[in-house]
């Protein structure tokens, strides 16, 4: 099985590569169209700012490429947000894979990414539990388990939500539509729980 990590102007890519190695997978980090298209699984990770990241993806024509994938794709953190319709961060249109309302991202989900306008510490950084966990996207027995978050923008609950976290207000901790999967939390920093979710995705 060939696993590819999309190479682009975002941080934390090599942490995901290390997490894959921990579960016995040697991934390729690439922005090569043919390598990505021929891969069995694709991971779209990252830490960054939505507007500058979308600008980079469009410059490299990676935006159209990502939307064309038919194999399982996993977005992590900014990767999930960019899969949405629009993000308030930089007021940018995204991939529109997930058609949801706020965390304006890539547009797969027709959704938006919104700022966490709450009287609590921002960014949301640390361990929180996931609830209402979907059994297709996740292994069994993950209800109430703790995972690691670092983010200031979020995707509200929507029809694509497959797990919810409550940090003052509930938001989408994970999304799923067709062959596109995504988590707001960092699998690569979530210990054994993160490894079990990553392994489950690799076995889809």
Catalytic status, residue 186: yes
Provide the CB-side half-sphere exposure for 139 (13 A, CA): 15
According to DSSP, residue 187 is labeled G
Cα separation, 70 vs 93, whole angstroms: 22
Given the residues 49, 186, 195, 200, select the one marked as catalytic: 186
- Cα distances from 31 to residues 35, 171, 193, in angstroms, run 8, 31, 29
Q: Is 88 a catalytic residue?
A: no
Other CB atoms closer than 10 Å to residue 116's CB: what's the count? 17
Q: Which residue of the set 88, 89, 112, 188 is catalytic?
A: 188
77, 84, 94, 158: which is the annotated catalytic residue? 77
Helix (H, G, I), strand (E, B) or coil at 102: strand
Q: For residues 109 and 99, is the Cβ–Cβ distance under 8 A?
A: yes
Whole-angstrom distance, CA of residue 164 vs CA of residue 184: 10
176 catalytic per annotation = no
**Catalytic annotation, residues:** 77, 186, 188
């Amino acid at each position: 099985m060939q696993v590819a990590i999309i190479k682009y102007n975002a941080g934390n890519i090599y942490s995901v590569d290390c997490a894959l190695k921990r579960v016995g997978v040697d991934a390729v980090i690439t922005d090569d169209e043919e390598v990505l298209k021929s891969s069995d699984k694709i991971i779209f990770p990252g830490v960054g700012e939505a507007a500058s990241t979308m600008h980079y993806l469009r410059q490299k024509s990676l935006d159209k490429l990502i939307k064309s994938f038919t194999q399982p794709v996993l977005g992590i953190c900014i990767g999930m947000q960019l899969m949405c319709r629009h993000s308030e961060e930089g007021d940018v249109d995204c991939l529109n894979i997930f058609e949801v309302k706020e965390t304006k991202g890539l547009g797969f989900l027709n959704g938006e990414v919104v700022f966490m306008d709450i009287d609590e510490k921002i960014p949301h950084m640390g361990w929180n539990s996931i609830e209402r966990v979907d059994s297709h996207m996740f292994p069994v027995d993950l209800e109430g388990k703790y995972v690691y978050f670092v983010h200031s923008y979020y995707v509200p609950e929507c029809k694509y939500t497959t797990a919810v976290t409550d940090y003052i207000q509930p938001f989408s901790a994970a999304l799923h539509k067709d062959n596109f999967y995504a988590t707001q939390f960092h699998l690569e920093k979530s210990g054994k729980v993160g490894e079990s979710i990553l392994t489950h995705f690799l076995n889809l």
